[in-house]
Amino acid sequence: MTRRLFWLAMGITIGALIVRKLSAAAQRLTPRGLAESVGAGLTDLSLSIRDFAGEVREAMHEREAELREGTGLDGQIGRIEPTGSLVVHPVITPPTGGAQ
């Protein structure tokens, strides 16, 4: 008798889980469910694009600062320190080593 009750309870539990899964799958296939899925996907896509654009913008600013510093366009050539001393940075650094 105990075995029968156990298997009956097991069958009811498995049946309920299957019905819930099938109901959820059927709801996702309705027009409203499909619209929600597409909407959520587009929202995720737009957030990913926004994050990517922010990272590209940040890298662009870093690279631009490197280029400005390397070409002397960063305002660092011949600047005067708060102590009054003149600091001169060469625009092009002389090569070191190598063939002459």
Range of the domain at 56: 37-62
Q: Is 53 within the bounds of a domain?
A: yes
pLDDT at 6: 92
Q: Is 16 within the bounds of a domain?
A: no
- Choice between 93 and 2, residue whose per-residue pLDDT is larger: 2
CA distance 78 to 89: 7
Q: Considering its fold, how many domains does the chain have in total?
A: 1
Over the stretch 7-63, which tens digit does the pLDDT of each residue have?
A: 999 999 999 999 999 999 888 888 888 898 899 999 999 999 999 999 999 999 999
User: Model pTM?
Assistant: 0.47
pLDDT at 88: 64
**Is residue 90 over pLDDT 80?**
no
Q: Is 18 within the bounds of a domain?
A: no
Q: Is 45 within the bounds of a domain?
A: yes
Q: Is 20 within the bounds of a domain?
A: no
pLDDT at 72: 65
